[in-house]
Structure 1
Amino acid sequence: MPSRPSILAHAAKFLILAGLSLTAATPARAFFLDDLFSGESSRGEGRPFASPIPREVVAYHGAERPGTVVVSTRERRLYYVLGDGQALRYGVGVGRPGFEWGGVHHVTNKREWPDWTPPAQMIRRRPDLPRHMPGGIGNPLGARAIYIGGTLYRIHGSNEPDTIGQAVSSGCIRMTNNDVVDLYDRVRIGSKVIVQR
C-alpha cells in the first residue's frame, strides 16, 4: 500500500497538472481556480494578492442616480451608487502625479480578459513595452476592463494588487481582479462615470 506522503505527492501533482490545463484553456477558469485554492473570499481577504482595501457598502448622500460610478482620486476609492443613501465602495489605484484627470463620461464598452495594446503615448515613454498582449492572468488589464468613453482610460483589473490605494497608473483606474469582476457585473454600457480630482 502506498505511503501517505506518496499519495499526497500524487494528489499535488494531479492538481498542478489540472491547474495548468485549465490555465492554458481558459484564463477566466484559471482565475477562479486560483481563488478556490487560495481561499480568497469575496471581500478580498485571506491571501497576499488580496486588496488591502476590502469593498463594503457605505452611506452615500450624493445626488447621483443608482448605477452611477464615482471615482474619488483624492480618496483612491470608487463608489458604485446603489440608491437609498448607499453605495458600494472599492479601493482603487489612480493616476500618478502628472497623470491625474477628471470629468463626467459614460461606459462605452466592457471586455472580459481583455487584450492590451499600449497607446502610442505610452510606447513613447516606455519603448520596452510589448506592442500587444493577449488577455490572461499576466495581462496588465487583469480579468475585466470597463472602457470610459471620450478618454484613453479604463477601469480595469490588475495583476499588482499592492498598487490598490496608490497613485501609480498612467491614468487608468485599477482594481483587484475580484473587485473588477464584481463591478463589471453591476455596471451597464451607458452608465455615467464621474471622476473627481
Structure 2
Amino acid sequence: MTNFRNSELTKRKFIKLIASAPVIASPFLGSAAVAQEIAMQEQDAVRHNISSFRAVDWREHFDTLGEGVIVADTVSRALHFWTADNGAGVGGYKLYPTSVPISEELTRRGYTSVIKKVEGPTWTPTPSMRERDPSLPRVVPAGPKNPLGTHALYLSWQYYRIHGTHDTRKIGRKASDGCIGLYNEMIADLYSRVPVGMRVRVI
C-alpha cells in the first residue's frame, strides 16, 4: 500500500532535484540522472525505516536451554525461539518479526515465563488503558476485531502477552501497550511449539 506522506516527500525531492539539476545536453541523460538520485534517496529512506536487526544467542541470557527458551528483542523488534535441548546443548531455532510497546514507560524487560496458552483469546483492557480511554469496551470476544489475534501466550507478568494481531501494519513497529505482537500465522506456529512453563526474556 502506498504511503501518502512518503509519496509527497518523493514528489518534493523530485521537484527540488529538477530545479537544481545542471543543464545536460541530452534530455534522456538528465532524466536518468535525476531518477537515479531519487532512487538512491528512497533506498536510504527505506534503510532508516528498517529496524536494526541483531543476532541473539540463547547463551547470552540463559544458563541452559532445557525445553527451550524465548528472547523477545524490543530493539530489533524480533522474537527468537529455541526448541528443546537435544542433549548436546543445541536446539532448533525460529525467528519471528514482532510489534513492540509504543513507549519506554510501557516496556517491561527481564525474565518471565509462559503460564497459559489460549487459542481464540478474549481481550480485556487493563485498568490503565480504560483510564486513558474510558470508551474502550470492557471485553472484546474472539474474532477479527480482537487485538490479541488468534492465539495468545500469557506471561507471568500481569497483563503481558505474546499474541497475534489482525492488524498486520503493526508488525515491525512500536504499536502495543506492552505486549509483543506477531502475525497471526506466526503466533499460531509459535503457539504449537511452546509448552506452558517455557522461560522468556524480554530485552
Tell me which interval the TM-score lies in, with the shorter structure as reference length.
0.5 to 0.7
1:60–1:86 contact (8 Å) kept in structure 2: no
Q: How does 1:21-60 map to 2 (within 5 A)?
A: none
Indicate whether 1:99 and 2:95 are aligned: no
DSSP 3-state at the match of 2:148: coil
Q: CA deviation at 1:128?
A: 1.5
Q: Could you say if the C-alpha distance between residues 107 and 173 of structure 1 is closer, same or farther in structure 2, counting changes exceeding 3 Å? A: same
Pick aligned residue for 1:132 from 139, 162, 179: 139
Q: Could you say if the C-alpha distance between residues 73 and 130 of structure 1 is closer, same or farther in structure 2, counting changes exceeding 3 Å? A: same
Amino acid at match of 1:75: S
State the TM-score, normalizing by the size of structure 1: 0.66
1:61–1:85 contact (8 Å) kept in structure 2: no
Q: 2 CA distance for matches of 1:126 and 1:74?
A: 27
Amino acid at match of 2:97: G
Amino acid at match of 1:72: D
Q: Could you say if the C-alpha distance between residues 120 and 60 of structure 1 is closer, same or farther in structure 2, counting changes exceeding 3 Å? A: closer
Q: Which runs of 5+ in 1 are unaligned?
A: 1-52, 54-58
Q: Which runs of 5+ in 2 are unaligned?
A: 1-49
Pick aligned residue for 1:172 from 179, 183, 192: 179
State the TM-score, normalizing by the size of structure 2: 0.64
Q: 2 CA distance for matches of 1:68 and 1:138?
A: 30
Identify the structure with bigger relative contact order (alpha carbons < 8 Å, sequence gap 6+): 1
Q: CA deviation at 1:85?
A: 6.6
Q: 2 CA distance for matches of 1:60 and 1:72?
A: 9
Corresponding residue number in structure 2 for 1:62: 58
DSSP 3-state at the match of 1:175: strand
Q: CA deviation at 1:133?
A: 1.1
Structure number with bigger Rg:
2
Query: Which 4+ stretches in 1 moved above 4 angstroms?
Result: none
Q: How does 1:127-166 map to 2 (within 5 A)?
A: 127-166=134-173
DSSP 3-state at the match of 1:89: strand
Q: CA RMSD in A?
A: 2.0
- Count of residue pairs brought into register by the alignment: 140
Corresponding residue number in structure 2 for 1:87: 93
